[in-house]
Amino acid sequence: MSRRNLLAAALIAPLLLLVTLSFLVPLGATLYRAVDDSEFSTTLPRTTALLRAWDGKDLPPDAAFAAIVEELRTAQQNQEAGAVLSRLNFEETGLRSLLLQAARASARLAPPVKDSLIALNPRWGEPELWRLFKRATGPWTSLYLLRSLDMRPTDKGIVHAGAEDAVFLPLFWRTFEISLIVTVICALLAYPVAYTLSILPQGWANAGMMLVLIPFWTSILVRTTAWFIILQREGPINALLLAFDIVNQPLTMIFTRFAVYLAMVHVLLPFAILPLYGVMKGIKPDYMRAAASLGAPGWRRFLRIYLPLTMPGVAAGSLMVFMLSVGFYITPALVGGSGDQMVSYFIAFFTNTSVNWGMAAALATLLMAMTALLVIVARLIVPGFRSGNVKV
Amino acid sequence: MAGTVPSAPARKLSAGRLALALVTALILLFLVAPIVVVFPLSLSSGELLVLPAPGYSLRWYEDFFTSSRWLSATWNSFVVGIATMILATLLGTLAAFGIFLGRFPGKALLLAILSLPMVTPVIVTAIAMYFSLSLVGLGSTLTGLILAHTVLSVPFALLTVLASLQTFDQNLLRAAASLGANPAIAFRRVVLPLIAPGVATGALFAFATSFDELIVALFIASPGQFTLPRQMYAGLREFLSPTIAAAAVLLILFSVLLLALNEFIRKRAQARGASPSGPTA
Amino acid sequence: MSPNMSDPIIVFDKVTKSYDGTTQVVKSLDFAVERGEFVTLLGPSGSGKTTTLMMLAGFEDPSGGTITFDGRPLNNVPAHRRGIGVVFQNYALFPHMSVAANLSFPMEMQGVGRAEREERVRGALDMVKLGHLADRRPTQLSGGQQQRVALARALVFRPKLVLMDEPLGALDKQLREHMQLEIKHIHEQLGVTVVYVTHDQGEALTMSNRVAVFHHGRIQQLAPPTEIYEKPANAFVASFIGENNKLDGTIAARDGAQCRLRLSDGSEVRAMTGTDLPVGAPAVLALRPEKVLIGPAAAGENRFDAVIEELVYYGDHTRLRLRLGGSDSFTARLTFRDGLPALQRGERIPVGWATANCLALGPEES
């Protein structure tokens, strides 16, 4: 390696180390939880060994019955059973109580354990239950990823949830829909603003730019808070509408999809204006003059010359807006209703509230895949697009 | 609208131009109005966030500056913000210079990896931080928050410094070497003064990123580490007191200050003509 | 380790350079520069001249071979420890430092005391007649002034060698010619060794003690300007330096320093031949347009009939484009002391030249 590259490597190393250790590794470990299935095998190692050896036909050997009961009881006594119970109960509701019942009864079960267990609850005699256990021995599972797509793994392959039970596909669709609408509105609003600012005399343009930059530098939370306050039933908008007798009773605006669109467009609009303004500033008036001298009327000059020339700015801004929209959390959480929440909300929910880290990781993985897919598609359909030239 | 040939003196006010100006004005109004509305709300003497306010007073600002919660959140925000700014600027500037100097393949990939935290949905970064920081015992600590914020804001520092290096004339480094300056001296005496505006902008961005950050704080800060946005969010969720409007106003004023600082840096850099010398450059 | 003062200051020994490992930008370069010499590396862009300069300055590492400077090999000596002054094409003045600070910089690196620095800065600025601009920023100076500051900065720390990379390329023609003389005077005054890179042959011929003509990564000829112009070593040098008519042919017979060359249309020409081209070898006849004679003056061994294809009037001279010896772009450059003769396009006229003025040359070295 040349002296130059040695120096370069030494300069880059600290940052690369930081990003690797405090971002890439945690991110990888987190996303791995989407497929990790180690609760059963960690807590019930002997049962795991027996089930892995079992061919999955009929019922497992008697030893497996004894093992699972004994290991469950020990785990329960050491307060280590929580994880595996949650894991199994997530796959099939009711399994927690079935297992707890067995663990509690374990001391009283007369040998052979198999028969006593089946006598305790006939479900223990169903091969289908044992095959579920066998699947849970890991080390990997598609359970969380499939659930995130409203599917579930069963004995007989993958089963799709019915339309009325579907939760996550509509969630992803809603996230996509909201992001798309916000992006389109931002692009449509950004275009005239950026154009006007780009042709105004410098002084006016700078003043106008300040009106874009002040919201841009103001934190998302502060701006969302402003909308949160403004859109209240007793808030300024309703006060104004009532005062001028435009409505008879206050409108419900907060906790609606409308509020989500309003606040998200407000938060993201500067991201669409800034790159577009940069591109428009760089277009020499000579092009338009040339088009005029070549006989193109105004609207054709716009469609054939100006619009294509400014398209990279529209694309860069729109991609930025869309990418940020897809990951939005705070704004919908504050001003949206329960039906307006996006994927991020559920990732937070599974992390904090329902403590199902597998689901949180699976949704995060799919959200990242969605974002990555978007960047790839954008690179393919927008020629010359580079994420680096988005100047904010 | 863009169809009109923009010739410098001809500023005739056609109907189209008037409509365009009107539309632009309305959109700009939409951008600033919600920010402006918070000001009178925060000055209300009443308990409710209504307009017109029953009277005006500074009571909610007094409440902010006497509440131990808000003050501790302000302190935490500045501690985390400044520490993040220093770390991100230092690491980002060094790495940017390394990438600028190095002659190796895969620079684009390296850059993509280093700026990954910028394009990753923040919620994903937040849960990754939440899981891993608690594993290494940094959950619910300011150190953990600083580390997470540094990761989030370092791409901004890296990219702004890299952008200002792009206009840096490589020959200046060669000139410095030919005049006897070793790489460290050349960096300090020649590179740093010339990219200082970029470094300052990157630092400002890093600070603002940390100062405004909520989602990561939501996951890894306990009440003891609450930052201003986190405290505000807690307030919104509990009881909507006008103190929140006061806090919002203070944050807006601070953002305007940061923006002004950034514009000042930009203007000064332009005025100083910190561009490569020579007519061919 | 004190180098013998009569030894060359720079020695290139089989130096090669390749960026990608396959194509060589510089091919096995061997040459030496004497102390106090002004050597110009001349060639078209991509000929390897700038790469050679960059290797000497330490901005590029040779892929093979050794460069010796002042008696010590330069391999693994970083640029900042070579003590070689460099003037860059775009001057590379530090825009954030005043003119005086730019000049002071190299002496700070050497640890020269403040008083002496100030004195030497003043001396160097006076030398380039810019004493009154010491406190200006480089961006506040004109191109010519920046150029002179760059020159002063490269000299102020008293390097034994100064490299100049197209230093006048950005200046207009008049200023360029003025600066050529100024640089020449400074060189004569200081006795410093200069290696100068340019693609401008006029610059090379007027300033240098010796010129190295580069093409395809090789030195085609390294010689004093007169020899380069009068006795080009091969067809490339002949066409690159000044203007030359080139006619393709083969050596028909040899006779000491002269030969007979058969042109593509079958006619034969007597020419000088420096290189040892055997009979039957392809060769190029090189003849400068100003050596072509017409009318009654065209007498002697090389005399032909030519058709005037085009007449162009330049004021101080007139150019004729002629059809001759299988070429329809044979040029004659004529100056008429006693008014213009009545020549017509399409007219057939006698054309000739002295044998001593034309050369039969082999192709370039590659």
Question: For C49-88, how does the pLDDT look when each residue is reduced to its tens digit (9 = 90+)?
Answer: 999 999 999 988 899 999 999 989 998 888 899 999 999 9
Same domain as A214, residue A103: no
B148-157, C257-266, C334-343: least confidently modelled range? C334-343
> B196 CA to chain A: closest CA distance, Å?
18
pLDDT, one tens digit per residue, over B89-101 is: 999 999 999 999 8
Whether residues C222 and C240 fall in one domain: no
pLDDT digits (tens, 9 = 90+) for C233-249: 888 898 888 888 888 88
Residues A229 and A312 both lie in one domain: yes
Hey, which residues does B12 pair with through a beta bridge? none
Name the most confidently modeled range: A71-80, A136-145, A259-268: A259-268
Residue B196 neighbours by CB under 8 Å, 6+ apart = B269, B274
> Which CATH number belongs to the domain containing residue C154 in this structure?
3.40.50.300
- The whole-number pLDDT of residue A359 equals 93
Question: Is C366 part of a structural domain of the chain?
Answer: no
Q: Are residues C212 and C311 in the same domain?
A: no
Which residue segment(s) compose the domain that A274 sits in? 168-389
Confidence band, pLDDT 50/70/90 cuts, at residue A1? low
- Provide the percentage of residues in chain C whose pLDDT is more than 90: 40
Q: Are residues A304 and A350 in the same domain?
A: yes
Question: Do A28 and B156 touch, CB atoms closer than 8 A?
Answer: no
Same domain for C127 and C148, yes or no, is yes
| Whether residue C203 is found in the same domain as residue C255 | no
CB contact under 8 A, A229 and B95: no
Q: Tell me how far CA of residue C270 lies from CA of C285, C292, C303, in angstroms.
A: 10, 14, 10
Last residue of a domain, one of C230, C257, C289: C230
Using DSSP's 3-state secondary structure scheme, residue B57 falls into coil
Residue C278 lies in a domain: yes
For residue B279, the model assigns a pLDDT of 31
Contacts of B279 in chain C (CB under 8 A): 90, 143, 170
Give start and end residues of each alpha helix (H) in C234-366. Answer: 235-240
Q: Are residues C107 and C41 in the same domain?
A: yes
Is residue B194 less than 8 Å (CB to CB) from chain C?
A: yes
Does C300 share its domain with C159? no
Name chain B contacts of A300, Cβ cutoff 8 Å. 3
> How far apart (Å, rounded) are the C-alpha atoms in residues B177 and B195?
18
CA distance C203 to C197: 10
Q: Which residue has the higher pLDDT, B138 or A177?
A: A177
Calculate the average pLDDT of chain C: 88
Cross-chain Cβ contact C96/B174 below 8 Å: no
Could you tell me if B105 lies within 8 Å of chain C, comparing CB atoms? no
On whether any CB of chain B is under 8 Å from the CB of A385, the answer is: no
pLDDT tens readout for residues A274-308: 999 999 988 887 887 887 788 777 778 888 888 88
Looking at A139, A158, A192, which one is the last position of a domain? A139
The enclosing H or E element of C51 equals helix C49-57
User: What is the pLDDT, as a whole number, of residue A289?
Assistant: 80
Contacts of A240 (CB under 8 A, 6+ apart): B51
- Average pLDDT value for residue range A12-39: 92
Residue A126 has pLDDT above 80, yes or no: yes
Residues C257 and C195 in one domain: no
The mean pLDDT value for C276-288 works out to 85
Mutate to test the interface with B, among A4, A6, A12 (most CBs of B within 10 A): A12
Helix boundaries (H) for B167-214: 170-178, 183-186, 192-212
Would the pLDDT of A383 be above 60?
Answer: no
Interface-testing mutation among B101, B103, B169, B178, with chain C (most C C-beta atoms within 10 A): B178
Q: What average pLDDT does the segment B145-160 reach?
A: 93
Q: Beginning with the edge strand found earlier in the chain, give each strand of the sheet holding C318-324 in spatial order.
A: C293-294, C348-353, C302-313, C318-324, C327-334
Whether C46 is in a domain gets the answer yes
Number of domains in chain A: 2
The pLDDT value given to residue B118: 87
A71-90 residues touching B, CB cutoff 8 A: none
pLDDT of residue B273: 55
C141 inside domain: yes
* Residue among C351, C354, C344 at smallest CA distance from C327: C351
pLDDT band at B251 (very low <50, low <70, confident <90, very high): very high
Same domain? C151 vs C175: yes
State yes or no: pLDDT of A381 exceeds 80.
no
Model confidence band, residue A390 (pLDDT cutoffs 50, 70, 90): very low
Q: Which residues pair with C11 in a beta bridge?
A: C32, C68
Task: Tell me which of 3.90.550.10, 2.60.40.1180, 3.65.10.10, 1.10.3720.10 is the CATH number of domain B59-271.
Answer: 1.10.3720.10
Residue C366, pLDDT score: 59
Cβ of B103 under 8 Å from any chain A Cβ?
yes
A196 CB near a chain B CB, below 8 Å?
yes
Task: State residue A196's pLDDT score.
Answer: 92
Q: Which of C51, C56, C61, C88 to mutate to test the interface with B (most CBs of B within 10 A)?
A: C88
Which B residues 49-88 touch A at CB under 8 Å?
49-52
Gap between the Cα atoms of C131 and C258, Å rounded = 58
Q: Rounded to 10 degrees, what is the CA torsion of A101, A107, A112, A118?
A: -10
CATH of residue A309's domain is 1.10.3720.10
Nearest beta carbon to residue A192 from set B23, B124, B244: B23
- Model confidence pLDDT, tens digit, residues B107-136: 889 998 998 898 889 999 999 999 888 888
CA distance B96 to chain C (A): 21
Measured CA to CA in angstroms, residue B119 lies from A378, B82, B115 at distances of 14, 23, 7
Q: Answer with the one of A139, A155, A182 that is the final residue of a domain.
A: A139
Examine residue A3 and state whether it is found in any structural domain, yes or no. no
B179/C contact by beta carbon, under 8 A = yes
Final residue of a domain: which of C208, C230, C252? Answer: C230
3-class DSSP state of A154: strand
Of the pLDDT bands very low, low, confident and very high (cuts 50, 70, 90), residue B45 is confident
Residues A250 and A185 in one domain: yes
Q: How confident is the model over C93-112, as pLDDT tens digits?
A: 998 899 999 999 999 999 99
Mean pLDDT of the residues in chain B: 86
Task: Using the 3D structure, point to which of C195, C230, C265 is the last residue of a domain.
Answer: C230
- Domain boundaries, position C125: 10-230
C294 and C267 co-located in one domain: yes
pLDDT higher than threshold 60 for residue B277: no
Closest residue in C to B195 (Cα–Cα): C96
Are the beta carbons of B220 and B210 closer than 8 angstroms? no
- Domain assignment present for residue C57? The answer is yes
> CA C244 to CA C86: how far, in whole Å?
34
Q: Which range scores top for mean pLDDT: A374-383, B207-216, C356-365?
A: B207-216
Q: Which chains touch C (3 or more CB pairs under 8 A)?
A: B
Residue A258 confidence (pLDDT): 93
C interface with B, Cβ–Cβ below 8 Å: 57-59, 78-86, 88-96, 105-106, 109-110, 137-139, 143, 146, 153-154, 157, 163, 169-170
pLDDT tens string C289-337: 988 888 888 777 788 888 999 988 888 888 989 988 778 888 999 887 7
Domain boundaries, chain B: 59-271
**Shared domain check, A178 and A105:** no
Enumerate residues 184 to 223 of chain B having a beta carbon within 8 A of any beta carbon in chain A: 208, 211-212, 214-215, 218-219
Q: How far is CA A301 from the centre of its chain?
A: 42
Residue C276, in any domain of the structure: yes
Q: How confident is the model at residue C42 (pLDDT cuts 50, 70, 90)?
A: very high
Condensed to tens digits (0 to 9), the pLDDT of residues C82-92 reads 999 999 988 99
Q: Is residue C218 part of a domain?
A: yes
Q: Are the beta carbons of A226 and B4 separated by less than 8 Å?
A: no
Q: Is the pLDDT of residue B275 over 70?
A: no
- Chain B nearest-CA distance from C108, in A, is 9
Q: Tally the residues of chain C.
A: 366
Give pLDDT, residue C3.
60
Shared domain for A285 and A360, answered yes or no, is: yes
Name the residue with higher pLDDT: B265 or B277. Answer: B265
In the structure, what pLDDT confidence band is assigned to residue A361 with cuts at 50, 70 and 90? very high
Domain identity same for A282 and A234: yes
The pLDDT of residue A190 is: 96
- Tell me the pLDDT band of B280, cut-offs 50, 70 and 90: very low
DSSP code at position B56 = B
Cβ B27 vs Cβ A193: under 8 Å: yes
Lowest mean pLDDT among A115-119, A323-327, B213-217: A115-119
Residue A388 is predicted with a pLDDT of 40
| Domain assignment present for A34 | no
- Confidence class of residue A262 from pLDDT cuts 50, 70 and 90? very high
Using CB atoms, which residue from B101, B111, B128 is nearest to A4? B101
Tell me if B279 and C169 make a contact (CB, 8 A cut-off): no
Show which subunits contact A, needing at least 3 CB pairs below 8 angstroms: B
Residues C45 and C192 in one domain: yes
Same domain, A286 and A384: yes
Would residue C5 count as lying in a domain?
no
List the single range of A105-109, A336-340, B214-218, C92-96 with lowest mean pLDDT. A105-109
Distance in angstroms (rounded) separating the CA atoms of residues A268 and A218: 12
Mutate which of A222, A280, A346 to disrupt the B interface (most B C-beta within 10 Å)? A222
As beta bridge partners, residue C302 has: C353
Residue, of C295 and C149, whose pLDDT is higher? C149
Q: Look at C105 and B185 and tell me if their CB atoms are within 8 Å.
A: no
Size of interface B-C (CB pairs under 8 A): 100
> Is the same domain home to C219 and C277?
no
Within this chain, do residues A119 and A213 fall inside the same structural domain, yes or no? no
CB contact under 8 A, B117 and A23: yes
Domain final residue, candidates A118, A139, A160: A139
In the predicted model, what is the mean pLDDT of residues C192-219?
92
CA distance B174 to chain C (A): 7
Model confidence at B59: pLDDT above 90: no
Per-residue pLDDT, averaged over A122-130, amounts to 87
A10 part of contact set with chain B, CB < 8 Å: yes
**Given an 8 Å threshold on Cβ–Cβ distance, is C106 in contact with B194?**
no
Considering the domain architecture, whether residues C261 and C220 belong to the same structural domain is answered as no
Residues A180 and A95 in one domain: no
The whole-number pLDDT of residue B10 equals 45
pLDDT digits (tens, 9 = 90+) for B200-237: 999 999 999 999 999 999 998 888 889 999 999 998 88
Q: What sign has the CA pseudo-torsion A330, A334, A335, A337?
A: positive
Cα A310 from Cα A317, distance rounded (Å) = 11
